[in-house]
Structure 1
Amino acid sequence: MKYILIFKECSMSPLFLSHAVWRHPEATSLNRLPMTSLPLSFPTLKEALSDALGGPEKRDLSSHPYHRNLGGTWDFLLYDNPLDVDADVLDEQSSLPWNPIIVPGSWSVQGFDKPHYTNVVMPFENDPPHPPEANPTGVYRTTFTLDDHWNGRRTILEIGGAESYVELYLNGAFIGMSKDTRLEARFDLTGYIREGINTLVLIVVRYSDGSYIEDQDQWWFGGIHRDVTLTSLPQETLSDIKATPTLDETLTEGVIEIRTSGNQVIDALDVRLYSDEGNLIGQAVLNAEEGAVVGSLKLSSPKLWSSEAPNLYYLGISTLDEHRVIPIGFRTVEIRRGSLLINRKRVLIKGVNRHEHDERTAKTIGIGSMVRDIRLMKQHNFNAVRTSHYPNDRRWYELCDRYGLYVIDEANIESHANYDTLCRDESYAAAFLDRVQRMVLRDYHHPCIIGWSLGNEAGYGQNHDACAAWIRRYDPLRVIHYEGAVRPEWGQGAHTLESLKRGAPATDLVCPMYPPLALIEEWDRTTDMDRDPRPLIMAEYSHAMGNSNGSLSDYWDLIRSSRSIQGGFIWDWVDQGVLVDDEGRPVGFRNVEGHAPKRWRYGGDFGDRPTDYDFCLNGIVFPDRSLKPVMSECLKVQQPIRVRSDNPSGGRFTIINEHDFTTTKNIALACSICNECSIEEYTFEVDLPLLQPGERVEIRLGELQESRVRAMMRSNTTFISFAFTLKESTPWAEKGHVIALEQFALSTISKSVYTHTPAYPTRRTDDSLFVETILYKASIDREGFLASLHFEDRPPLLASPLKPNLHRVPTQNDGLKTFIHLEGVEEFSFYHEKKAMKPWLEHSLDDPVLILEELKIRHNQVKTIHRIGTRTGLNLGSVGQTFTFTLEEVFLHAVFDLSDALEDYPSVGYRCSVTKQEEPVSWFGRGPEENYPDRKSGSLIASYEKTVEELFVPYIVPQDCGVRTDTTRLGLEGAKIEGILPFSFSIHPYDPKELWEKRYADRLIPDTVDHLSLHAAVRGVGTATCGPDTLDRYRVPSGIYQMRLRLS
C-alpha cells in the first residue's frame, strides 16, 4: 500500500515521472483498467458479426463510429534520462524542438537512440530492480478531436504495447501508468476530455524494474510498438465475460457456459450463436444472478476445432447499447498417462518458437507479415507455435484460430541474468502474477491456445507456483507449461533424468530445452507413467543458428517410436536481423531500395555493448521470410502422410494417413521414377484411396512391372518418389502444394570402372607430367596433383590444382567467429566451450602440409602417396592417389587414411578452383536445396540444375553452405564428374578464406573463379550453438575414406 499512498499524495505534481516508479517492481500499474477478453463493440450485432466472420485480414474500422486509431505521425522528443524530462512537454504552447515519429514504431529504428541486442546479460549494469542512470526516455505527443456522438459516453485509451514503462497525460493531467511491454494497457479518459482539440502525451521509459523480467533473447528497441486507439463505450458497459465451450464424454454434445465478470451493472444479455457461415443456430436471454449474468447455450454435434480442421463458432453478446461477437471453438485438452490429448487424440506437436520481429519495423508487425508466417508454417507441416517469450499482438491469436495452429501462450517473464533470484523475490511476486493473469484474461477465448506458459528462463520459485495455482483455478481446461520447473533446483544446469521429474506444481508438461536424444530416450523408457503422467514436449530444440538443424530426422524417428515424447518447438522461426541502409542505419519505415544480398545487421553493429552479437540469428527463415534450406527438412520429418515398403521393387507400398482429424479426401498422389541415366523422369498418377485419420492401406503399383521401368532398374540405381499434393486450394496453400514426400531405391547397381583404350603420358618436364589425347589434355604437377584438365570444345576445368582437403569453413554450430575475441570472458564462456572449430583453427586445417612421399608411373597410371600434416606438427595421416588415363576419361581413385591426431575432421576429400561457370551446374544426387549428412531426409535424389550463385546460401554470417550429398554425377562446364562411389559437393563464387573472414553476406566479394569442394565425407551440421553437437554417426573420425571419380 505504501506506493499507492505515495501516488495519491503526489498526484498534483506536474510530472508523475518524477517519483521514479519505474524502479519499484511492486507497483505494476496505476489507474489502469482491468484486462478484458472482450472484442470491440459495434453499434449493431450485424456489424459485429461481419467483423468477426471477416477476421483481422478483412477488418476495416475506419468507418466505426466509436473507434479511433491514433496511429500516424506524432511529435517526439528523446531524453537521456526520465528525470531530465521537462514539465514543458505538457505545455501545449511550449516551443520545444519536437521531431516527427511514426506510431506505432520503435524509436530506435527511426533514427533515435539505437537498437541493443543481448541474450542473457542485461544491456546495462545488473542491479535489480534499478535501471541505469542513462535511460533513454521518449515523449510522444499527438492531438485528437472527438465527434459529438462520443459525448455522454466513456472514452477509453488503449496502448497496445510500450517498452518498458509508460505513463500518460491528457490535456496536462496525469492519467496513469503501466508496465509490461507486451500487453495492452487501458485507461479511462472520460473525466479529462474537453471539447475541441485534446492533447495526449505518452512518456515511455526504455528501461525499468520490469526490464529485469523482460530479459529475453531479443533486441531491446524502446518505444511504442503496437497500436494506440480510442474507443467510446456506454456509461453502463460490460467489463468482461467468460465463455467456456465444453464437451461431454462422447464429444458430441457441447455447452457454452457464460458468466460476466468484473463490476457489472448489466441486468441481462442477449446471447446468440452463429455457424462459421453466419447462420443463427442458438439463442438465449441470460439474466443477472447475484451481480453477474450467468447462463449457458447448448449445441448438439458441434464441429470440433483442431489445427487440421479449425472449425469456429461465433458467440454474439448484446446489451441494449453494445454488440460484440467472440469467435469460439469446441475442443478438449487433457493429459492421460503420458499423452497430451486434443479431442481425445494423441497429437504430435510439430512446433516452432516465434519472436515478433520485422526486418524493418522491429516489433511492429503488420497483418500481412502475420498471415505470411502462418501460411509458411502450415505449408511446412508445423501445427503449433509458442509465443516466445511474451503475449503476441491480439490478431495473431485470431489468425491461429482461423488457420489452425496450436498455441502455447507465454507470459512476458524472463529473468535470465538473474535466473535464481527474482523468481524467489517477494518484491517481484506481484509483477509475475500480474503478467500471467492479464495474459490469461485477455486470451481466454481463443481455441488455438492449448496451454499457458509461465515464462522462460526465469528459474523456478514460489512466484511461479503462485501463478500456476491461479491458472489452475481460473482455467482448469488447459495445460500449464514451464521449462524452468524441470531444471535442477539451482542454476540453469543441464537437464537430468532426476530434474525431468521435478516441477509438477508449475508444469503439466515435461518440457526441456535442447535435450540430447539419449536423455529423452532414457526418460521415455524408464518413467513410470502411472506416477508421472506428464508427456515430454520440448520447449526448444534443434537450434537453428545459421547452417544448422542437424538430426531433425533422428528426433522425429524417436518421437514417433516413443511412448510419451510428443514433439517440440524448434528454436526459432525468424532471424532477428535488422535491415540497414548504405550508412548502416536501420531502415525503419523509410522507403529505402533493397540491396542484394540484403544488408542485415545483428548485435554490436549499432555500437550496442554488451552484446551477444549474432546469437539473434536463429531462424529457419531469413528476416524477410525467405526460406532457409532446412524448411524442406521440416516439411519431410513433420509430414502427415507416410509411405513404407519392405520390398519396393516388388511394387507393394503401405500408405499411412497420420492426420489426427482429417481424411485424405483433398490429397492427390503422383509417383516418379528416375535414375542417373534417364533423360526425363517417368511420372504417373496414383488413385489414392480415401483414408480416415490414422488409417493405412497397401497399394500395388503395376507400373513397376512395365518393360521401360524394368530396363531402368537393370541399367542403373533407380528410385521411385511419392509426392502427395493438395487437390484443391486451402486458406494456407494453393492447389498442387506438396505436403509429403517419400523415396525408395528400386534397384541398386554398383558402378564399374570401365576399361577404355589407355592413354599414356606424352611428355614429362621437371615440373609436370602431361597426357594428351584427341579428347582432352591433362597434367600432373611436380607435387603430384592434377593441375590441369581441358576437354575438347569445353573451357578448361581447373583454375588451380585438385588437392586433398580435410577442411570446410566452420558453421556457427562449429564455433562463433564473432565471439573469438571474447574467449576467456566468463559471461561468454558458454559460446566457446567444446566447439568443434577450435582444433581446426589451432592447427590451420585450411592450410595443410601435403608432402609427396612417392610418385610412380606405370603404363597409363600415375600413383602418388602424400603425407598429410599441419603447420603445428600434427600427423593427420596419408592419402594415396591413382590417376588412370584413357582416351576419353580420367579416373581418380583416392584412399585417405586419417590418423586419430584429431577427434574428428571437418571433411575429407578434394578442393580446387574452377573456371567461372557461366551455365547452370547440373547434378544427380540430393537436392534441390542444400543438404548435409544429418539433414538430408527432405532432399530427394534426382537430377537438378542451378547456377553457382543459386547453390550458395547467403546466411547472414558467412559460413560453410551449399553442400549436396549422395551425388553420383556432377556436370560442370569443363567436365562431367561421376562418382563410382557417391560423394558430396559444393561450389561457390567465394574463396573459403573470404567466407571465414567476412562477417556479413552482403560484404562478400566474388572471386574471379569458382571454388569447388568434393567430399568423400563431410561433418554434419548438428545444433551445437545451443544444443547437442553433431552426432557421432555424422562426424568424420579417423579411418579409411575413399573417392572414386570419373572425369569426362
Structure 2
Amino acid sequence: MLSLEKYWENTQILEVNRQQPRAYYIPYADAVSAKTGKRSRSPFYRTLNGGWKFTYYSSVHNITESFYETNYDASGWDDLLVPSCWQTEGYDQLHYTNVNYPIPCDPPFVPDENPAGLYVRDFRIEDSWNGKQIYTMFEGVNSCFYVWVNGKFVGYSQGSRIPAEFDVSPFVQLGLNRMAVMVLKWCDGTYLEDQDLWRFSGIFRDVYLLGRDPAHVRDCFIKPELSGDYSEGHLRCELDTTGPISLQAELRDAEGNLCANGHVEANGQAELTLSLQEPVLWNAEKPYLYELYLSDGQEILHFPVGFRTVSVENGIFTINGQAIKLKGVNRHDSHPDLGQTIPLNHMIQDLMLMKRHNVNTVRTSHYPNDPRFLELCDRFGFYVVDESDLECHGLAVSGDFHQLTRDPSWEKAFVDRVERMVERDKNHASVIMWSLGNESGYGPNHIAMAKWAQKRDDTRLVHYEGAAERYLGDTDTEDLDIESEMYPSLAHVEEYGADESRSKPLFLCEYSHAMGNGPGDLKEYWDLFYKYPKLMGGCVWEWNDHGIRTQTSAGTEYFGYGGDFGDQPNDGNFCIDGLVSPDRIPHTGLLELKQIIAPVRIEAEDLKAGKLRVTNLYDFSTLSHLSFAWKLEADGDMIEQGVLETVEAGPQQSSIVIVPIKHKQGEGRNFLTVTVRLKEAAAWAETGYEIAFAQFEIGKESAGSAQNPAWMEEIRQRPMHIREEENLVTVEGPDFCHVFDKVKGTFVRLSKQGVDMIHPPLAFSIWRAPTDNDRNIKHRWMEEGYHRAGMKVYTCSIRKQTEHVLEIVTEFSLGGYMKHPVLKGQAVWRVDGSGEVGIAAKIKVREGLPFLPRFGLQLTMPKGNEEVEYFGYGPHESYIDKRHSTRMGKYLLRVDDMFEPYVMPQENGSRYGTEWASVTNDLGMGLLFTGSQPFSLNVSHYLPEDLDQAAHLHELTKRNETVVHLDYKMSGIGSNSCGPELLEKYRLDEKEFEFSLQLRPVFKEDE
C-alpha cells in the first residue's frame, strides 16, 4: 500500500494544512471586471478545471506506486474531465440509497476496500505571478482527499460540499508544476453525509488557483445594518488581513453611483463602516443590490450587498419588519448526466423555473450548494435556508439516532461543517437562515453548532428540524430560533398556529411530498399558512427528480433510479420525487403549486354585479407590474373579453374591481376567467407571462346541457327491434346495433352505422395503477384483492321492453379470490331509440374495507379512436385534490396528450369534474359520454395493469386500442409517499352510493 497517514478514520483530524475558512470571493484587477463576475477576467485567477489524468482503484490498499512524484509517468492513465463525478464517467458503481448507509454502520470506521481515484494535472505558473502568495481552492470533493504539488505533500481535507483551500506557495515554481490528488470514496465523514441521494465521488466542483499579494484581505464579513425606521443604513466590514494593507472602500448603488466611501489601514483584524441615508432594501420580490468594492494594491474585491433584516417578532417571522410566508422548495444538486456536478446555466435554469412558478424560497437540501448558486439567489431574489453538510440518517436504522451528536469525540466534526458553511456564505443577502443539517438526531454537538453560529452571526436565524418538540418533547432548543417540522398532519399545524403560548414561528422545512403523480394536499396547507401569522410557510419535497439518463442495450434512453445499476442497498425510485423531471420538464404538481402560492388572490364579491375582490399577497410590491384580463365563456365558447383598468392594492391589501360585462350570459355553463400577467418582461419571464388566474361560474344549468339538445327527444322515440338468442339480447335501431350479454351482465357490442365502438365488453372497475403516493395504502388494497376484482353476475333480466325503450337489470358483485366481495350492486341498463345506453348503478361496499381507488366504468375502443373532446377541468390532468391549476373549459386533445410521462409509470392523466366527453376517430365517429353528475375521465393507450407492471416508461407497450375510464369518483392523490395520509374528504370511502352515466354512439360531424 502507498505509504501515507491514515486520516480518514480519525475524527480529530478533519484537515491538514487547510486554510481557515473565509468568505467566497475572487480578486480582480479592476472594478469593471469584478462586477461581471467572470472569473477568467481576473489575472489573479487560474482555473484547474479541464482535462486531468485519472485512474481508479477499487481499494486504496491496492495503490503501491508513488503516483504523486514529479517524474511519475501517468501518460497511460485515462483522461477525465474535472469537475465531474467519477460514477457518471463509467468508474465504480452508480448507487442510490436514502436512509441506509452504503457501508457497515461502525463509526468512525469504513471498509478496508475503500475505492480511490487518483488525479494528476500539470499546470504553469506565469512570470506575472512571481512573488505572489498562491493558493489552490477545491470547491467540492467527495469524500476526502490528499493533495501533493511537485512531489511534496500539501494537505488533507474532508467535508464533501464545503470548500478546502491550501497555500501552495512553498511548493510551486515559475513554469511547469504538477498537482496530484487522491480522493477516497469513504471516510469517517461518510457517517455525516448520509443524505437521500446518489452516492457520488470525486472532484465534482471547481478547482482553481489564486495568486495573491503577500499582504491581502484574507476574509471580510460584510454586515448591512439598518436603523429602526430603515431610514439609515450602515455597512460594517469586519476585515482579516495577512499583513499591513491600505484599504479603500466604495459602495455604489445599482446604477453605479457612489453612495459612500472610506479608508482603513489594517494589519490583521480591522473594521470599516460605511453609512448611507434611505437605503433601498433587498427582498426576494425586489432584490436590490448595492456594489461594494474593496481595493488594496493590485487587488479589488467585489461584493453585492443587500440591506435587509431577518427577525422573529412576537412569534412571527419577518423580513425588513414585514411578516413573510416562505413559498419554498427543497433542492438537491442533481443533473441527469453529470450527477452532482452542476453547470452554471443549469443553476440559472432551476431558479428561472422557480421564479416562473411563484417560488420564493430554496432550502439547500442537505448541504451548501455551489457558491455561485447563492450569488444567483441574491440577484434573482430568493430566500435561502443554507444547510450544513450533515446527515446521519442511517443511525436511525442502527438503533441510536442520536449516537454521534451525543458523542464528544464528534463535536469537532459537527461544528466544522457549520463553521465552513457560515464563513463561506455569510455575505449573501439571500441567506436568511443557517440550518444545522438534516435528520441526524439532536444533542450536545448540534447545540455546539447552534451556539457557534449564533455567536458568529447574529443577523440570521438558526434552524434545525431534528429538535422538533413532537419528536423529543421538552429539550434544550434555546439556541434555535424557530420550530421546524416535517410532514406534520394538518391538525397538528393548525393546533400550533392557534396556540398563543408558542413564542417561535413554525417552519415546515419539508411538507407535501411531490413524488410521481402529486402532490395533492397543497391547498390545505396554504389555507392554514395564511390563516395563522405564526405559520411561516415551508418547502415542498422536492424540486427535481434525481433520475440518471441511461440507455437500454437496444439504445432506448430512459431515466434510471435505485437498483437499475445493480446497486445494493437501494431505495428504488424514491429519488424520483420532484416537481420537475430530471431534465427540468415541469410536472403538473409544479403547476398546482404555482397557482396555490400565487401572489394574487381573486375572489367573488358579487358576481351578478361583476364585483371581484383582488388581494395582493406580495409582501413588498404593489400590483402595478401586473395586467388583468378577463373573458366570459358559455360551454367553453367565447362570449366576451376585456382588460381591467389598473388594479391598485398595496402589499397584503385588497381592493374591489368590477368586470364590465356588457353582453347577456350565454345558455349552458357560463364561466368568467381572470388572468394575471406580467406587463413587462422580467429577468425570468417574458411580457405577458401568466402569474395566476381565477375562474368563477356565473349561473348554472344542468350538467351536460349542451350535449342534450331538445331535438334529441324526438330521436329517442324512434322504434327499435329487440331479439333474444340464448344469453344475448340484440337491440337494433335505424342506425345502431347493440348487444347485451346476460351472462356477463354487460354490453359486448355498441355500434353505429356498422362501426363498432367497443371491444372487449364494458366492465366496472375499482383499480387504478398505484401512484407513488399510494405506496402505503396499496398494500391494504392488494390484501383485499382490489387489483384482481372481477365481476360476478347473480341475476340478469329484462325489466322493461317497449318499441323504443329497453331496460335490463343486473345484480352483481366485484371481488377476487380468497376474499369476500369488495362490493355488491344493482345496475340498470337502458337503451332508447337514439342508440343511447344509460347505466344507473346502486353500490354497497363491504364494511371494514380501506377506501376504494376508484369506481366507474371501463371500456376499450378499437384502434383509431384518437380524438378526445371534453368539457371539464383542463387542459392537463386533474384530481379531486389536485385541480387548482386547471380551469373549466372545452378541450380538444389527442389521446397521447392525456398522458403524463412520470419516470415510473402510474395512474395519470385523469380529468376531474368532466361533464361530457367524446372519444372518436378522426372522422368524428365514436362515443359521447354524459353524466347526471360530473365524473372523472381517463383516456389512455394503457390499461391500469400495463402501468402497474412497468418500472420505467420504456417498458410500456402502447396499445393500439383506446382505454376509457368513466369514474363516479377517483380517490385523491395526496402525498403519503412520505407525507400524511390522504385526507378523508378526498377518499372514495362511501359505503353506499349511486352512479349514472350515458353512452351514445355519434358521428360528430353530422350533429
> Could you tell me the TM-score, scaled by structure 2's length?
0.94
Map 1:456-855 to 2 at 5 A. 456-487=438-469, 499=473, 502-528=475-501, 532-583=502-553, 598-676=557-635, 678-680=636-638, 682-703=640-661, 706-707=663-664, 709=665, 712=666, 715-751=667-703, 755=713, 756-757=716-717, 759-782=719-742, 783-792=744-753, 795-815=755-775, 835-855=777-797
**Alpha carbons 2:247, 2:295 under 8 Å: kept:** yes
CA RMSD, 1 decimal: 1.9
Shift of 1:857: 4.0
5+ residue gaps, structure 1, are 1-13, 53-58, 491-498, 585-592, 816-833
Per-residue deviation, residues 885-907 of structure 1 (Å, max 9, x unmatched): 23333333233232224121111
> SS of the counterpart of 1:975?
strand
**Alpha carbons 1:808, 1:960 under 8 Å: kept:** yes
Counterpart residue number, 2:255: 277
Shift of 1:646: 4.3
Further displaced range: 759-768 or 109-118: 759-768
Further displaced range: 269-278 or 446-455: 269-278
Shift of 1:15: 5.6
Counterpart residue number, 1:943: 890
Counterpart residue number, 1:420: 402
Shift of 1:488: 5.3
**Alpha carbons 1:334, 1:479 under 8 Å: kept:** yes
Shift of 1:291: 4.1
**Alpha carbons 2:215, 2:245 under 8 Å: kept:** no
Query: What residue identity is the alignment partner of 1:699?
Result: V
1:372 and 2:349 equivalent?
A: yes
Further displaced range: 606-615 or 304-313: 606-615
Shift of 1:937: 1.4
Further displaced range: 206-215 or 734-743: 734-743
Per-residue deviation, residues 509-528 of structure 1 (Å, max 9, x unmatched): 11100000011111222341
1:432 and 2:432 equivalent?
A: no
Counterpart residue number, 1:148: 127
Shift of 1:695: 2.2
Per-residue deviation, residues 622-653 of structure 1 (Å, max 9, x unmatched): 10000111112101110010111243233111
Structure 1 distance, partners of 2:247, 2:70, is: 44
Distance change in 2, residues 1:681/1:134 (3 Å)? farther
Structure 1 distance, partners of 2:470, 2:64, is: 49
Shift of 1:135: 1.5
> SS of the counterpart of 2:394?
helix
Indicate which of 264, 270, 274 corresponds to 1:293. 270
Percent same amino acid at aligned positions?
Answer: 31
Indicate which of 190, 195, 204 corresponds to 2:169. 190
Distance change in 2, residues 1:558/1:102 (3 Å)? same
Per-residue deviation, residues 840-859 of structure 1 (Å, max 9, x unmatched): 35514343233242322412
**Alpha carbons 2:911, 2:936 under 8 Å: kept:** yes
Further displaced range: 681-690 or 386-395: 681-690
Query: What residue identity is the alignment partner of 2:528?
Result: L
Query: What residue identity is the alignment partner of 1:127?
Result: D
Query: What residue identity is the alignment partner of 1:660?
Result: D
Query: What residue identity is the alignment partner of 1:805?
Result: S
**Alpha carbons 1:238, 1:266 under 8 Å: kept:** no
Counterpart residue number, 2:830: 884
Further displaced range: 953-962 or 452-461: 953-962
> SS of the counterpart of 1:452?
strand
Counterpart residue number, 2:338: 361
Query: What residue identity is the alignment partner of 2:761?
Result: P
**Alpha carbons 1:124, 1:132 under 8 Å: kept:** yes
1:984 and 2:936 equivalent?
A: yes
Map 1:981-1020 to 2 at 5 A. 981-1020=933-972
1:858 and 2:800 equivalent?
A: yes
**Alpha carbons 2:789, 2:814 under 8 Å: kept:** no
1:954 and 2:901 equivalent?
A: yes
Structure 1 distance, partners of 2:972, 2:994, is: 16
Structure 2 distance, partners of 1:634, 1:388, is: 19
Counterpart residue number, 1:348: 325
> SS of the counterpart of 2:772?
coil
Shift of 1:777: 2.4
> SS of the counterpart of 1:440?
helix
**Alpha carbons 1:926, 1:940 under 8 Å: kept:** yes
Shift of 1:765: 2.0
Structure 1 distance, partners of 2:272, 2:514, is: 48
Counterpart residue number, 1:48: 34
Shift of 1:935: 1.2
1:171 and 2:129 equivalent?
A: no
> SS of the counterpart of 2:905?
coil
**Alpha carbons 1:779, 1:788 under 8 Å: kept:** yes
Query: What residue identity is the alignment partner of 1:517?
Result: L
Structure 2 distance, partners of 1:396, 1:915, is: 52
Shift of 1:215: 0.4
1:923 and 2:870 equivalent?
A: yes
**Alpha carbons 2:789, 2:815 under 8 Å: kept:** no
Per-residue deviation, residues 279-323 of structure 1 (Å, max 9, x unmatched): 2222111233x8433121111111111110000001000111210
Per-residue deviation, residues 733-771 of structure 1 (Å, max 9, x unmatched): 111111111111112222477743155353322242222
Shift of 1:972: 0.7
Indicate which of 820, 843, 849 corresponds to 1:874. 820
Distance change in 2, residues 1:109/1:952 (3 Å)? same
Distance change in 2, residues 1:628/1:40 (3 Å)? same
Distance change in 2, residues 1:151/1:762 (3 Å)? same
1:1044 and 2:1001 equivalent?
A: no
1:245 and 2:224 equivalent?
A: yes
> SS of the counterpart of 2:483?
coil
**Alpha carbons 2:337, 2:548 under 8 Å: kept:** yes
Structure 1 distance, partners of 2:121, 2:369, is: 26
**Alpha carbons 1:15, 1:174 under 8 Å: kept:** no
Per-residue deviation, residues 991-1028 of structure 1 (Å, max 9, x unmatched): 22221111111221112212211110111111111111
Distance change in 2, residues 1:417/1:304 (3 Å)? same
Counterpart residue number, 1:69: 47
Shift of 1:505: 2.3
Counterpart residue number, 2:923: none
Query: What residue identity is the alignment partner of 1:686?
Result: L
Further displaced range: 70-79 or 303-312: 70-79
Distance change in 2, residues 1:759/1:366 (3 Å)? farther
Per-residue deviation, residues 851-893 of structure 1 (Å, max 9, x unmatched): 2423224121233222233222312232322333233333332
Query: What residue identity is the alignment partner of 2:630?
Result: C
5+ residue gaps, structure 2, are 396-400, 921-925, 1002-1007
> SS of the counterpart of 1:422?
coil
**Alpha carbons 1:349, 1:383 under 8 Å: kept:** yes
Indicate which of 243, 248, 254 corresponds to 2:233. 254
Shift of 1:1042: 1.4
Paired residues in the alignment total 975
Per-residue deviation, residues 815-834 of structure 1 (Å, max 9, x unmatched): 2xxxxxxxxxxxxxxxxxx5
Counterpart residue number, 2:294: 317
Counterpart residue number, 2:1005: none
Counterpart residue number, 1:893: 840
Shift of 1:1046: 4.4
Query: What residue identity is the alignment partner of 2:646?
Result: L
**Alpha carbons 1:963, 1:985 under 8 Å: kept:** yes
Counterpart residue number, 1:11: none
